[in-house]
Amino acid sequence: MALRLMLASYRIASHLRISVSHRAFSSVVLKDLKYADSHEWVKIEGNKATVGITDHAQEHLGDVVYVELPDVGRSVSQGESFGAVESVKATSDINSPISGKVLQVNKDLSESPALVNSSPYEEGWIIKVELSDAGEVKKLMESDKYSKFCEEEDAKH
Amino acid sequence: MRSPRTLEVWRLGTVNYLKSLKIQDKLVSERKSHQIPDTLLSLEHPPTYTLGKRRTDHNLLIPQSQLTKIGAELHYTQRGGDITFHGPHQAILYPIISLRSIGFGARNYVETLERSMIEFASMYGVRARAGNKCETGVWVGDRKIGAIGVRISCGITCHGLAFNIDPDLNYFEHIVPCGIADKEVTSLRRETDALLPKEEVIHKQLITCFAKAFSYDDVVWKEDPSFILDTKDDG
């Protein structure tokens, strides 16, 4: 029964372009995104990008109660902090996976910060950026590499 | 086979709050660039109220102008959590450690800080517990004995925990502690009949519980706190 469920999940996952590890409770990693080693994702569409934090990140944060958003128009740099989330009395910096100018911030997160937990890749997006250097994307991880990175991090404890 | 983990501990005595922020900033930067190993500051503050990133100053119940009258300062910080009080006879630990090297996120880190305090309390026969959801911290029944408020930047921690040994609990009446109304604050002194040793001993016990909870192999007790205190400054 468990084997059939597992095979079914792989079939559904490959249809939805999701990579699923065989381990129980592994986090979701989407194939068409790029990932930073600080657990942010970026979706590139032409010279625009959408940024958020990954499912792995939100699991390890706990319930998000506050999201500090940057101002629209502000510049962001790859690897530098642009905002923060608060969960379990901890503020954790969010780093930008790419450099550019902030075009839009997700204002829904002010009223509903928990969207970061419930929908990290969709409704929980954090900023939209106009890229200043498309070449930087090469420094980010593809989904398979990011999945492996998460497994290695989790194995440390 | 993981490499051995070392914790360097600085016991600083009473340190002014702003000074402690400057020390932490410097250590965070040094930890990020691998100049120092995981480091722990053990200290106390003079009477000080602090607010977290959300700046919930509606939880300060007296006008700011009254604070000097009661001998206290107020500071805004970048840590998580709500308003709290720090003062003499409250043991503070500020860990400056790399969470990435142990694969910890905020939740694991905070839960391990809670466990450190719970283990420490049990040394005096006090049965403490971690808070329920949205009540991060350490409680004895419905009374809060230990508070947590941390900041994580590039996987390096700062700020930390505060455990009430025997502070003047009247100072907590001027705030809604941690933003949680109708819950008391307590101390080790109130919760145990056990004879409390010198505070130096108590601080060392708390540090040892921290080191054990975080599985450090070696603890290096740094002498000469003036090395990071910069005694030229006041306080």
Burial class (CB in 10 A: 0-12, 13-18, 19+), B78: middle
Is residue A25 over pLDDT 70? no
Å from A11 to nearest chain B CA?
A: 30
Residue A16: what pLDDT? 52
Helix (H) or strand (E) holding B60: none
Å from B154 to nearest chain A CA?
A: 7
Residue A18: what pLDDT? 53
Confidence band, pLDDT 50/70/90 cuts, at residue A1: low
- Cβ atoms within 10 Å of A123's Cβ, excluding its own: 14
A94 contacts A84 by C-beta, under 8 angstroms: yes
Please tell me which residue of chain A has the smallest CA distance to B111. Answer: A88
Please tell me which residue of chain A has the smallest CA distance to B114. Answer: A88
Mutate to test the interface with B, among A88, A93, A148 (most CBs of B within 10 A): A88
Cβ-Cβ contacts under 8 Å, A91 against chain B? 52-53, 78-80, 150-152
Residue A57: what pLDDT? 97
DSSP readout, chain A?
-HHHHHHHHHHHHHHTTEE--SSTTPPPEETT-EE-TTSEEEEEETTEEEEEE-HHHHHHH-SEEEEEPPPTT-EE-TTSEEEEEEETTEEEEEE-SS-EEEEEE-THHHH-TTHHHH-TTTTT--EEEEES-GGGGGGSBPHHHHHHHHHHHHTT-
> Is position B178 annotated as part of the catalytic site?
yes
- Provide the whole-model pTM: 0.90
More confident call, B179 vs A109: A109
Strand partners, B73: B48
Strand partners, B41: B10, B94
Instruction: Tell me, rounded to whole angstroms, the distance of Cα B144 from its chain centroid.
Output: 14
pLDDT (tens digit, 0 to 9) for every residue of chain B, 235 residues total? Answer: 578 899 999 999 999 999 999 999 999 999 999 999 999 999 999 999 999 999 999 999 999 889 989 999 999 999 999 999 999 999 999 999 999 999 999 999 999 999 999 999 999 999 999 998 888 999 999 999 999 999 999 999 999 999 999 999 999 999 988 777 788 999 999 999 999 999 999 999 999 999 999 999 999 999 878 877 774 444 4
Nearest partner of B132 among B111, B113, B153, judged by Cα: B111
Query: 3-class DSSP state for residue B138?
Result: strand
Q: What tokens appear for A33 in the block? A: 């995104």
Å from A76 to nearest chain B CA?
A: 16
Residue B234: what pLDDT? 45
Indicate the average pLDDT of chain A.
89
Confidence band, pLDDT 50/70/90 cuts, at residue A3: low
pLDDT digits (tens, 9 = 90+) for A38-97: 999 999 999 999 999 999 999 999 999 999 999 999 999 999 999 999 999 999 999 999
| Model-level ipTM above the cut of 0.95 | no
